[in-house]
């Protein structure tokens, strides 16, 4: 039997009146063959938020898990479902077609949040793309619209041209790259900050400071890192294919990091980017 949603999970309010559970399961780099099991394990553990993308090649399997959850009493409306528009589909008409394809694969008739995956500034189509997002929102096909990997100059152009402030900007964010400037800008503009690769793609799990804090609290390094994000107010989407780790990554509401802990973790910042630079990334494959 699936766990009920955990009332301790903070709900992050979005600028359009909607809200999102602060912790979701991320499925980037989750092979399609593992995705249905991972998403089902997350829903069983009490997650009610799943983050995928057209580019991950596993929307169909996310959809299978959502459909399967009905037998545990979890309905479509209970889960916050997120996907992203791939780079090759930017532009008004292409976006509308790509959205339909994603919904077909997911087997849902609306999306909770649709994100422009990368700004692709050299293609210069993100404004038209976002106009299509606004159209989809007006039609009730998506509840919230946002972006991913947008830097301050892309946000400024998007808002100036469309008059719409995206609900979310999902960016690479972990203690090595805490993104203080962008988080501050988001707070000023009313954009929720969402962290991808929140565990540094696993690279921070053996880091001595993180391990020491974890030992002091009787928690795992992953739980400490996820708790760090929650205390910063980030939306966070740790990825795992392992059901025990998926459950333990959600068990972060019985302890609190002290100010000293938060400062020690912040001192790990060294500017390391594990993913591409959004200002130059133009991959459409």
Selected binder of ligand A2P within 220, 230, 232, 235 (CB under 6 A): 220
Among 197, 232, 235, 252, binds ligand A2P (CB under 6 A): 197
Contact 27, 58 (CB under 8 A): yes
In whole angstroms, how close is the CB of 251 to ligand A2P at the nearest point? Answer: 10
CA atoms within 13 A on the CB side of 249: 29
- Contact letters for ligand A2P, residues 154-183 (x by CB under 6 A): ------------------------------
Contact between 2 and ligand A2P per CB under 6 A: no
**Interface with ligand A2P (CB under 6 A), residue from 33, 202, 212, 276:** 202
117 annotated as belonging to a binding site for a ligand = yes
Q: What is the DSSP string of 101-136?
A: HHHHHHT-S-EEEEEE----TTT--HHHHHHHHHHH
According to CB under 6 A, which one of 32, 205, 211, 262 is a site residue for ligand A2P?
Answer: 205
Rounded CA gap, 263 and 30, in Å? Answer: 32
User: Is residue 125 at the binding interface for ligand A2P, with CB under 6 A as the rule?
Assistant: no
Structure tokens belonging to residue 69: 């959850």
The verdict on whether 110 is a catalytic residue reads no
Report how far residue 94's alpha carbon sits from residue 54's, in angstroms, rounded to the nearest whole number: 13
Tokens, residue 279:
């200002």
Binding site for ligand A2P (CB under 6 A): 26, 197-202, 205, 220, 222, 238-242, 245, 248-249
Known binding residues for substrate are 117
């Amino acid at each position: 039997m699936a766990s009920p949603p955990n009332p301790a999970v903070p709900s992050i309010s979005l600028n359009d009146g909607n809200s999102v559970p602060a912790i979701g399961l991320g499925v980037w780099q989750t092979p399609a063959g593992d995705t249905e099991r991972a998403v089902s394990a997350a829903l069983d553990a009490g997650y009610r938020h799943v983050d995928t993308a057209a580019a991950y090649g596993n929307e169909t399997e996310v959809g299978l898990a959502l459909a399967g959850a009905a037998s545990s009493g979890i309905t479509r409306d209970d889960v916050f479902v997120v996907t992203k528009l791939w780079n090759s589909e930017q532009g008004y008409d292409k976006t509308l077609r790509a959205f339909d394809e994603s919904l077909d694969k997911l087997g849902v008739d609306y999306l909770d949040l649709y994100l422009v995956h990368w700004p692709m500034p050299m293609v210069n189509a993100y404004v038209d793309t976002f106009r299509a997002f606004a159209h989809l929102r007006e039609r009730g096909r998506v509840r919230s619209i946002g972006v991913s990997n947008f830097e301050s100059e892309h946000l400024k152009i998007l808002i100036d041209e469309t008059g719409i402030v995206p609900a979310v900007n999902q960016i690479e964010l972990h203690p090595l790259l805490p993104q203080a400037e962008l988080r501050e800008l988001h707070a000023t503009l009313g954009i929720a900050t969402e962290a991808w690769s929140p565990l540094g793609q696993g690279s921070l799990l053996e880091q001595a400071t993180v391990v020491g804090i974890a030992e002091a609290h009787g928690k795992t390094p992953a739980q400490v890192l996820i708790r760090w994000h929650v205390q910063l107010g980030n939306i966070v989407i740790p990825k795992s294919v392992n059901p025990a780790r998926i459950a333990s990554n959600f068990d972060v509401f019985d302890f609190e990091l002290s100010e000293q802990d938060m400062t020690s973790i912040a001192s790990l910042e060294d500017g390391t980017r594990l993913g591409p630079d959004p200002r130059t990334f133009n991959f459409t494959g």
